[in-house]
Each structure stands twice: as structure tokens, then as C-alpha cells.
Chains A and B, each alone.
Chain A
Amino acid sequence: MADTRIPTVVVDDVHVVYRVHGAAKDSSPLGAMRRMASRKPSTAVREVHAVKGVSFTAHEGEAVGLIGTNGSGKSTLLRAIAGLLPATRGAVYTKGQPSLLGVNAAMMADISGERNVVLGCLAMGMPKAEARAKTPEIIDFSGINERGDFSSLPMRTYSSGMSARLRFSIAAAKKHEVLLIDEALATGDAKFRKRSEDRVRELREGAGTVFLVSHSLSSVRDTCERTIWLESGLIRMDGPTDEVLAAYEEFSTAK
């Protein structure tokens, strides 16, 4: 039987290994000398094999949830799909350029929120005029100006909730063909969460395919019809959300 659905993301036996610097166990100069003398590989650089051979195909109009315990490789897999962390082995094929909607997009603490918004928009590839035009809208959406003029203050003066809201608002300002959402819904207060969930739904309608990484099973249940369960860098289960979530809940309570 031939599959008539149009694939948007094809993940083919992907492995991701990344290097961590500064993880030496014996960090004394003597220890470093001893390692050099005995020609042992430096422990200051350790390799983390985060994704160990994952394959799946996602199709147009699908919303796929990614679940798993902390450190199971969900975020790393998303970054590999976005092309940010290149796959060490295997390949990822995507339609267009996927966008990662994360809360940890880089920001500069010493410049004002407003300038960070313009910078963030430009970094996502918006033309200058569009970035300028969208800035007030983004600041409004983030709601950081609800208690006075915070947008002209440096980011380092913001509370963690405020800066997370601003980051999300910037990332959500652009339309995407393949959208990857990394825990983005878990920021801010209840009011902001409601607003951001609406926004994600809007973005989903415009996007071909959505991936959602979340620890909040209810938001996965609300948005995704298919769910992939990752455990230690491998796919444990891939199927309809209800079945996978049921198995996952059983697994978590059994521990």
C-alpha cells in the first residue's frame, strides 16, 4: 500500500554527538600534565551521545509531540531537525527551513528589551523594515510594559519570567513551514500561558508540521495527534497520542 501523504520531515537513522568542554574530573594542572604524558584523551572534553539512531517520517498537517524523561534527547533531536546541531551519522531531510521556537534564544543582557526585539527579528531573517514595524506588536504581546516602561531598560533588570515572555514573543512573531516548539508553553503566568497557547494554535494553522517538546502531558494531548516517546536517545514508542501517553504514564508511575 502506497503512502499518499506528503512528507515534510524525514529523519533517517540520526545520531547526534556533541562535545562538552570543561568537564574534567581531575582539574589540577598536575592531572592535565599526567594525562598528556600518558597520552590519555583529555577528560576536559567529553562527548555526549544524545541521540542514538532515530528514524521517523512526519507529514504535512501533522502535529507531533515528543515526550520522555529529562535528558532523553528530545531537545537535541529538535535541534538536529532544525539543522542547528548537525547529525553525526544519518541524515535529516526537511521541507524548507524549520524554525526552532525555544525559550532560550540568545539575548544580550546589557541592551534594552526593545533593541533585543529588533535584533532577534533580524537574526530570524526578517528584513529591517519588517523588524521595525513588528517591534511594538511584539512588546505588546509579551506584556512586559504592563507595569511601566520596561522595554527601554536593559534585559538584565528583567525578572526571569519577563525575559522568557519576551523571548517567546520574538520567536512567535514569524510564520514557519515546519515549526519546532521546545517547552515554550511553560513560561510566564497563567494569563500569558493562555495567550501563548492561542498563538501556537494560530502558528500551527499556518505551518505544515509542528513538533512539540513538552513535559506537560495535557498540552501534548491538546495539540498533538501523534506522539513519539524518546528514552535515552532511542525511540521507545511512536503512535497515536492516547496510546503513547498511556504507556508513558504507566512507565513513570511504575518507577
Chain B
Amino acid sequence: MAEAVVTEPHPVLAPAQLAARHGLRAAGARPGLVEYARSLWAYRHFIVAFANARNVATLTTARLGQLWHVLTPLTNAAVYYLIFGVILGTGGRIENFIAYLCCGIFIFGYTSAVAAAGTVSISGNLNMIRALQFPRASLPLSVTITQLQQLLVSMCVLIGIVLVTGEPPRLIWLTLIPLLLLQTIFSGGLAMLLARVGSKIVDLKQVMPFVLRTWLYGSGVFYSLTTATNDLPTWASTLLHLNPMLVFIELAREALITTNPASQFSVASMWAVAVGWAIVMGVGGFLYFWRGEKEYGRG
């Protein structure tokens, strides 16, 4: 067998020195934090285009097509109303239970869908990751945008429901805008966090539905958590009320429903919790995801 034919004089320098002398950079090295944030910003059009494409793609084979974006949240609300409002009668003590319920379902559904899709946003796109070089955070973020677009449709449905059930239009509705912004930052951070964990621990995908359902029942979507936790010691109910989803849902109800049962915590303190969660999860998720940037192609 022929030995390796060396056609060039063996480089006198070690490879790393040679590379350094000619200004070559290590392939696949993790970029600096600022550089990473900047390249992510440069990819914003890709993030939005990918989110749009996925949104369109989910419904191309359905006969009613994009109409399902409106029908799905409506059907969802109808099912929960049937079970919790009519059959179980949980809504007895809550005026305007339909609006109360829809607020909870749509706001919770947003983050829950982001969490589920975020978990597989790396592991489900390995082909793309192994073919193209782009900031990987684009994937969990575009998942967030996809769900945000669906939430905006749901919110229009919700406003309709709220108006039909006799709530007057009020200026306080505008607080939904900063609220959804905070929730989006929170959800984006959560998506990045779960994307990295899900890329390492593939079984997370199987566990997520159970985690999300537990979270759903603990977030006061179908009932008022304040009434349900009356018998608990103060520290326990305070802990329950730090649940970010509960806070986002309560603030949305506070904005839309005049007769929303008062929580034992002030609206101002809930806003503080919402801002806190958005910052912690948004920044934390981004940093955690960035630290793994180099490894996502490995599977």
C-alpha cells in the first residue's frame, strides 16, 4: 500500500500557529455575546420569514385553510366552557365566565405552545443546522413568533367574545400591549432554554406534555386560584402567585373584564412580577442558549 504522498514541504509551523499567522479563525467557534446578538439581529428577516412559512405550512392541506387559525381557539374555548362552565359549574361564582375562561386559555395556550415547539426546535431541525450556518437562536425565536401570530388572531377572537358578553370598550385594554410584549420576551427566553435542554435530552419531548398540563392546572385557567387557595398558609399562596403564567393571565383579565374577582395581590405587584419574569427568563434563556451555540450540530 502506498504511503501518504506528501507533495508540499511539511509546514515548519504548527497548524495552530500557521492559522494564527494568517488570521484564520477556528471554524464553529462560539462568537462573543455582542457579536452573537448582532448577527441574530441581522437574521431577523429570516426569523420572521421562517415563522410565517411555518404558520402557513401547518394548514395548507386543510380544506378550510387559514380559517382554522380562528376556528381552533374558538373550538377550544367552547370545549372548556362545556366541561367547566356547564357540566362542572366551576364558573358559578365568577361573572362573565366565558370571557374569564377564554382569557386564561388563550394566554396560557401561547406560552404552552411556544414551550412545546421550542423543545424540538433544535432537535427537529438538525438537517437545516447541519447544512447552513446561521445563529441557532433563530430557531427557538421563530417558533415564538409563529405562536405570537396565532395569539394575535386569538386575541381578536377574545376581544369579540368580550364585547359580545357585554363588556364596554375601555382604555385599560391598551395595557394588553405591554403585557403581551412581556409575555413574548418570557416565552422567547423559555423557548431558548428548552431548545438547548431538548437538544441534549431528547426524551424531554415526551415529558413536556405532562409538565405543561400540570402547569395549566396550577395557573388558574378554569377557576380563580385566589378562592381556591384561601385555606393555604400565606407563604404557600404567595409562592403559587409567583407563577408567571398566573400573573400574565390575571393581568389580561384585569384589563378586559370589569367584574374580574379581585386577587389578594395588588395589580402593581403583579406587574412587577411580570417584568421580573420577562427579564430573568429573556436574558437567562438567551445566555444559556448562547453558551451551547457550538454544539447544536452534533445531535
Contact = CB atoms under 8 A, between A and B. Distances in A.
Interface of A: 1-3, 6-13, 17-21, 55, 57, 79-88, 91-95, 97-100, 102, 104-106, 108-111, 115-116, 118-119, 122-125, 127-128, 131, 154, 226, 235-240, 243-244, 247
A57 to B, nearest CB: 6
B4 A98 contact: no
Interface in B1-26: 2, 4-9, 11-12, 15-16, 18-19, 22-26
6 contacts: A17-B298, A21-B299, A91-B15, A91-B27, A99-B133, A116-B53
Nearest to A236: B4
A124 B19 contact: no
Given A12-B16, A93-B19, A83 B49 contact: no
Contacts of B294: 86
B233 interface: no
Interface of B: 2, 4-9, 11-12, 15-16, 18-19, 22-29, 42-43, 45-46, 49-50, 53-54, 56-58, 60-61, 125, 127-134, 202, 294-295, 297-299
Contacts, number: 163
Contacts of B49: 115, 118-119, 122
A115 B53 contact: yes
Given A7-B22, A100-B131, A124-B132, A85 B298 contact: yes
B24 A119 contact: no
B27 A92 contact: yes
A93 B16 CA distance: 8
Nearest to A240: B7
Contacts of A102: 131
Contacts of A93: 15-16, 19, 24-27
B132 A123 contact: yes
A86 B297 contact: yes
A153 to B, nearest CB: 11
A105 B132 contact: yes
A239 B2 CA distance: 12
A19 B133 contact: no
B46 A123 contact: yes
Judged by DSSP, the binding face of A is mixed
B133 A82 contact: yes
B130 A84 contact: yes
Nearest to B20: A93
A172 to B, nearest CB: 14
B299 to A, nearest CB: 5
A118 B56 CA distance: 15
Contacts of B130: 79, 84-85
B46 A110 contact: no
Given A7-B24, A10-B19, 18 more contacts: A7-B22, A11-B15, A12-B15, A12-B19, A80-B27, A86-B294, A93-B26, A94-B27, A95-B23, A97-B133, A100-B132, A106-B131, A110-B56, A119-B49, A123-B46, A125-B43, A237-B4, A239-B4
Contact of B2 (A2, A86, A124, A237): A237
Contacts of A127: 45
Contact of B27 (A21, A83, A237, A243): A83
Contact of B9 (A3, A9, A87, A115): A3
A96 to B, nearest CB: 8
A239 B7 contact: yes
Contact of B24 (A1, A2, A10, A13): A10
B16 A91 contact: yes
Contact of B28 (A83, A123, A247): A83
Contacts of B19: 7, 10, 12, 91, 93
B133 A84 contact: yes
B12 to A, nearest CB: 7
Nearest to A234: B4
A247 B131 CA distance: 31
B121 to A, nearest CB: 13
B36 to A, nearest CB: 14
Most buried by A among B43, B57, B58: B57
